[in-house]
Amino acid sequence: MKLVRWGNTGTEHPGLLDESGQIRDLSSLIDDIAGANLSDEGLARIAATDPANLPIVAAQTRLGPCVGAIGKIICIGLNYRDHAREAKLAEPKEPIIFFKATSAIIGPHDPIEFPANAEKVDWEVELGVVIGKTARRINPAQALDHVAGYCIVNDVSERAWQMERGGQWDKGKSADTFAPIGPWLVTRDEVTDPQRLPLWLDVDGVRRQDGNTADMIFGVAELIAYVSQFMSLHPGDIIATGTPAGVGMGFAPPVYLQPGQTLQLGIQGLGTQQNRTQSAA
């Protein structure tokens, strides 16, 4: 299934993408794409519903982030071999963990705003793993059973704040609008192998990133198990699994975003995002 959240910011409703690509309103069945509705049982209840019996949502309706009530966004740094090479850094021996504030979350087509004094705003297309069942100290063989599904995350970053303001990555990762999520939550049964997914990103029509999740240093199952050793993972938590080569910081000289540009990014089977960049009001 492909699940969405639609409507105005902060008051999104749950929806289902039918086979023709139309959004169907799930509000009569569930309150949100969140919490217990992300469990195997919750998803099975949604899957048992005939979309033809659900109201159609207007095609021009805004899409919000595809998961509601997200408790935390756990990000993995330097998790693609080619990205480590372009950063001129050694491949990590263990996953590098940092966080994005949930206040950074926006919909997949909402504007990305540059905060005041931002100098080096960069892009990062990433596979997001949405947790569906609480995970505590699990092993990799159990890990994928705890996944509700997958989505696209753009780990927008202010590199000067990330790298030049005392070494705390979270500073450069958590500005408002720096976490576009969606358009869809694609349930795990539709993703045969999360380690064989092409992903890409364009800036103003120019291809900047063109990678594949097969290039991850630590795969999805290993990441879930690893993170669960240090913290509980709860339904609705998202792990952003790292980005391939082609980020602006990796060019010589670096190429950073400016207000008025258009980002398009996608992952095979998970849809596409499109965002305009603008200065914050």
Query: Per residue in 62-104, pLDDT tens?
Result: 999 999 999 999 999 999 998 989 888 899 999 999 999 999 9
In the DSSP assignment, the letter for residue 90 is P
Is 65-279 in CATH node 1.10.20.10?
no
Looking at residue 167, its pLDDT comes to 72
Token pair 């709860």 in the structure block, residue: 234
Query: Per residue in 236-263, pLDDT tens?
Result: 999 999 999 999 999 999 999 999 999 9
Please give the order of strands across the beta sheet that includes 185-187. 23-25, 13-17, 2-6, 185-187, 147-154, 125-131, 238-240, 73-77, 96-100
Between the two ends of the chain, the Cα-to-Cα distance in Å is: 37
The dihedral of CA 186, 191, 194, 198: what is its sign? negative
The residues spanned by each domain of the chain are: 65-279
User: Would you say residue 226 has pLDDT above 90?
Assistant: yes
Cis amide linkage into residue 253, ω under 30° from 0: yes
Amino acid at residue number 229: Q
From CA 121, how far away is CA 139, in angstroms rounded?
36
High-pLDDT (> 90) share of the chain, %: 94
